[in-house]
């Protein structure tokens, strides 16, 4: 919490010990904040500030093939102007191929898509991660709420990691 330096002494007033103590506290707080920013800057310069998230453990090559198939194969999902139809078609194909693409056995056994899978599929069909809940709301309202609940505000940060041109998020 910032230190208040009001009321300030007027010209000719005596500067009291209380006001000097508040000034010293404000300077100390400023130094603390500067040290914190210096540490964060050093971390960013070393490349540690931007860790690429892995939403779902997938085989990168098989996922790349999946994305190429839904984007450039017979489906050509990016030509579909309705984003909810895009994600619905991608969901259907994902359910058919997820056994091969996913690495996690627990996810493979589930019949429902996880919140992270919805975000992954949305990015694959050219939808920003932060737009996925809005797109899902029309046909899958419970999944939309689950994505918002699970991801929270971090879903907006995922926009920075999404490559909508290639349909990838968190892969290099």
The pLDDT tens digits of the residues spanning 32-62 come to 899 888 887 776 666 555 555 668 888 889 9
- Domains: count for the chain: 2
What mean pLDDT is predicted for residues 102-128?
Answer: 88
Q: In which domain, by residue range, is 24 found?
A: 1-51
**CB contact at 8 A, 77 and 89:** yes
Asked if residue 45 and residue 72 are part of one domain, the reply reads no
What mean pLDDT is predicted for residues 149-167?
Answer: 84
What mean pLDDT is predicted for residues 99-115?
Answer: 85
Q: Which residues contact 138 (CB under 8 A, 6 or more apart)?
A: 84
| % the chain with pLDDT above 90 | 27
Model confidence band, residue 172 (pLDDT cutoffs 50, 70, 90): very low
Q: Which of 55, 1, 58, 6 is nearest to 33 (CA)?
A: 1
**CB contact at 8 A, 75 and 69:** yes
154: enclosing H helix or E strand: helix 154-158
Structure-block tokens of residue 10: 């007027």
Query: 51, 68, 88 — which closes off a domain?
Result: 51
Asked if residue 81 and residue 44 are part of one domain, the reply reads no
Q: Residue 127, Cβ neighbours under 10 Å: how many?
A: 24
Chain position carrying tokens 């259907």: 92
Q: Which residues pair with 168 in a beta bridge?
A: 163
Asked if residue 159 and residue 135 are part of one domain, the reply reads yes
**DSSP result, 39-56:** HHHHHHHTT-S-PPP-SS
Question: Is 84 buried (19+), middle (13-18) or exposed (0-12) by CB count in 10 A?
Answer: middle
Asked if residue 146 and residue 112 are part of one domain, the reply reads yes
Give the tens place of pLDDT for each residue, 55-101.
888 888 998 899 998 888 777 788 889 999 999 999 999 988 888 88
Predicted TM-score of the model (pTM): 0.67
Asked if residue 82 and residue 23 are part of one domain, the reply reads no
Q: Residue 88, Cβ neighbours under 10 Å: how many?
A: 19
């Amino acid at each position: 919490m910032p230190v208040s330096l009001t009321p300030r002494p007027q010209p000719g007033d005596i500067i009291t010990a209380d006001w000097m103590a508040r000034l010293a506290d404000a300077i100390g707080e400023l130094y603390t904040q500067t040290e914190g920013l210096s540490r964060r800057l050093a971390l960013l310069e070393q490349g540690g500030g931007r860790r690429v998230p892995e939403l779902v453990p997938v085989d990168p090559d098989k996922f790349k093939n999946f994305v190429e198939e839904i984007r450039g194969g017979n489906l050509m999902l990016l030509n579909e102007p309705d984003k909810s139809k895009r994600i619905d078609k991608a969901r259907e194909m994902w359910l058919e191929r997820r056994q091969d693409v996913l690495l996690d056995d627990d996810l493979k056994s589930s019949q429902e898509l996880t919140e992270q899978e919805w975000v992954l599929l949305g990015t694959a069909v050219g939808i920003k991660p932060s737009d996925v809940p809005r797109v899902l709301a029309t046909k899958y309202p419970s999944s939309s709420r689950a994505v918002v609940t699970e991801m929270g505000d971090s879903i907006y940060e995922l926009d920075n990691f999404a490559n909508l041109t290639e349909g990838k998020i968190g892969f290099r």
